[in-house]
Structure 1
Amino acid sequence: MRMRTARAIQLVGVGAEMAALRLCVWRSTGRALLHSKHPAQFSRANISFASLSKGRKAAISTLGVLTAGGAGLALILHQSVKASELELHAPSYPWSHGGMLSALDHASIRRGYQVYKQVCSACHSMEYLAFRNLVGVSHTEDEAKALAEEIEVVDGPDETGEMFTRPGKLSDYFPKPYASPEAARAANNGALPPDLSYIVNARHGGEDYVFSLLTGYCDPPAGVSLREGLYYNPYFPGQAIGMAPPIYNEILEYDDGTPATMSQVAKDVCTFLRWAAEPEHDQRKKMGLKLLMGSAIILPLVYYLKRHRWSVLKSRKIAYRPPK
């Protein structure tokens, strides 16, 4: 037992001596490098494509060819998809509600509802909009009630179990032009008129697309033939649209006396559709303005408190003083 202990002590001593020797060598080497007039020269790794083996050259070349081919194929497919659409992208129009703090033109919303009621409602539905949504936006409560009472709603059953019709109420939704999608297709040569409740958000370009579509009907170019019942519109995907030109100059007479030109009618109905798809438009911008004004007051106070409270903690120095 004593011999093992002595042997262990001897090994520990040898290990300590070796560690001390390594430390001395490292220190002397570092000093020599620092005080040397000729700095040490290190060999650089010279790796080039020519120095690689044939297998590695073939692997790198194959990887490069596959990468370039995949990128080219993706670009060709992207261009082919774009070429298959062949529609003209709608330009950006300066809408009065397009600014960060701009509200919707509520007079235009009222005229747009008149356009929808007299022109668009013959084929397109707005099943997610009720007459009560018009109150305080484009019509008064009495006007909205009068508009609702113009329609007949099938309700029931009554006490005898029979269905009955009644005048519309504010809680009723806008009437549908067709009883079913099949009836809508049968009346429009197989084309289904889309619901206009969220059409502005459902189409790329928003109201710019709808405005361009309504005013973009023209004669097909040379070499383009359309079958019977289709009309040429460069803004519609495929250019062949089943909807006849819906608006033209003086198609209706506005209640407020505004001239009903084609561009004015398209602008009003697009503003109405923007409100229908986003009724919280004005309220959202009001809340954003309040948030910006509140942040302008709160953020400087928070920054001052941060500097006042945390400056001591961030600038303090922690020193360790070992006990004597």
Structure 2
Amino acid sequence: MLYTIKKIGLMAVTATVMVVGGTAVSAAAGDSAYDLKKNEWPHAGPFGTFDKAALQRGLQVYKEVCSSCHSLKMVAFRNLTDLGYSVDEVKAFAAEYEFPAGLDDEGEVKYRKGLPQDYFPSPFGSEEEARESNNGALPPDFSLLGKSREHLSMFTPWNSIYGEDYIVGILTTYHEEAPHGVEMAEGMYFNEAFSGNQIAMAPPLFDELVEYADGTEATKEQMAKDVATFMYWAAEPKMEERKKMGLKVIIYMTLLTILLYFVNKRVWKRVKKGEDLV
């Protein structure tokens, strides 16, 4: 009888965890009926590392496609060395941008070339300008967006949603026309993964929209995965260092635990024999 009660209780807990996990995944997917596709990410997991080639391609997609609307205000050019670029390459990249440098003798704003210590500039001068250019919507900053939709479930890891999966879903599930019976607001686009399925951003990616420097075929899906990887790096650029430090801490704590076990065993062995510990 007791075994039956325990079994029923365990089944109830399992069912609850699965329901809660499924609900959280649905929320992470933006409260949409669309089921986000789970992708394999090299940087996922406790030992994952960033794919440097994917990061560089993602930066290229951001620069050539996304940067016209989305800022990256928390990332400095000098951070791009983490992507595998040399210091000289970073300097050349930064020099492609211009920044205000005070006023000249005639009272006009003068500009200077970007430096590695500068941060990516915003494409708009103000929030009002940004909204006016995007059908009233404010394009989000890309600095932390890669982790804003992340849901990692301890009890249902098969249902875990990564922020990259959500980004890929957004970028690849536009419909040319809304499904029958769905009334779209003016200037909005139907997107399966977006909350409410109506999004102000026009479809940003098309096959062969960019020409990758490394020769990779620039399909819509490939570009979506690359820019999602880049956005995740932007949100957590020290991820690899954190994982390495975590591994060292685990090894240290394991060795310390073993040492303390034998010390404890030796001390209590003497206590049990009635020996003087001093």
TM-score (norm 2): 0.78
Could you tell me how far 1:294 is from its partner in structure 2? Answer: 2.5
Q: 1:314 Cα deviation (Å)?
A: 5.8
User: Which protein, 1 or 2, shows the higher relative CO under an 8 Å CA cutoff with sep ≥ 6?
Assistant: 2
2:258 is aligned to 300
Cα distance change of structure 1 residues 114 and 86 upon mapping to structure 2, 3 Å threshold: closer
Q: How does 1:147-226 map to 2 (within 5 A)?
A: 147-156=93-102, 163-204=109-150, 205=161, 206-218=163-175, 219-226=177-184
Structure 2 distance, partners of 1:141, 1:157, is 30
Give the Cα separation in 2 of the matches to 1:136 and 1:195: 20
Structure 1 pair 160/310, CA: closer, same or farther in 2 (3 Å)? farther
- Give the Cα separation in 2 of the matches to 1:137 and 1:264: 18
Taking the aligned partners of 1:116 and 1:277, their CA distance within structure 2 comes to 14
Amino acid at match of 2:164: E
113, 125, 130: which one aligns with 2:76: 130
Give the SS at the match of 1:295: helix
Residue 288 (1) aligns with residue 246 (2): yes
User: Secondary structure, in 3 states, of the residue corresponding to 1:232?
Assistant: strand
RMSD: 2.5
Amino acid corresponding to residue 110 of structure 1 in structure 2: Q
Q: Which whole-Å CA distance do the structure 1 matches of 2:105 and 2:182 have between them?
A: 61
Q: Which has the larger radius of gyration?
A: 1
Unaligned runs of 5+ in 2: 1-22, 151-160
Q: Give the 3-state SS of the residue equivalent to 2:111 in structure 1.
A: strand
Question: Alignment partner of 2:196: what SS?
Answer: coil
TM-fit CA distance, 1:315: 6.6
Task: Name the residue aligned to 2:60.
Answer: 114
- Structure 2 equivalent of residue 262 of structure 1: 220
Matched ranges for 1:241-280 at <5 A: 241-280=199-238
Shift of 1:159: 9.4
- 1:311 partnered with 2:257: no
| 2:100 aligned counterpart, secondary structure | strand
Q: Show CA shifts across 1:259-308 (max 9, x none).
A: 11111111110110110000111011111222233333332122111111
- How do 1:68-79 and structure 2 match up within 5 A? none
CA distance in 1, matches of 2:197, 2:59: 28
Question: Partner of 2:270: helix, strand, or coil?
Answer: helix
Alignment check: 8 A CA contact 1:87 1:238 kept:
no
Tell me the CA shift for residue 129 of structure 1: 0.7
Residues of 2 paired with 1:114 and 1:138: CA distance? 14
Percent identity over the alignment is 45
Q: Which amino acid aligns with 2:65?
A: V
Q: 1:145 aligns with which of 84, 91, 94?
A: 91
Q: 1:307 to 1:188 in 2, by over 3 A?
A: same
What is the distance in 1 between the residues matched to 2:173 and 2:272? 64
C-alpha distance in 2 between matches for 1:162 and 1:246: 35
In structure 1, runs of 5+ residues without a counterpart are 1-77, 318-324
> Matched residues in 2 for 1:315 and 1:86: separation?
68
Tell me what 2:18 maps to.
none
State the match for 1:49 in structure 2: none
Between 115-124 and 135-144, report the one with greater CA deviation: 135-144
Equivalenced residue count is 237
Does the C-alpha gap of structure 1 residues 136 and 162 become closer, same or farther in structure 2, counting only changes over 3 Å? same
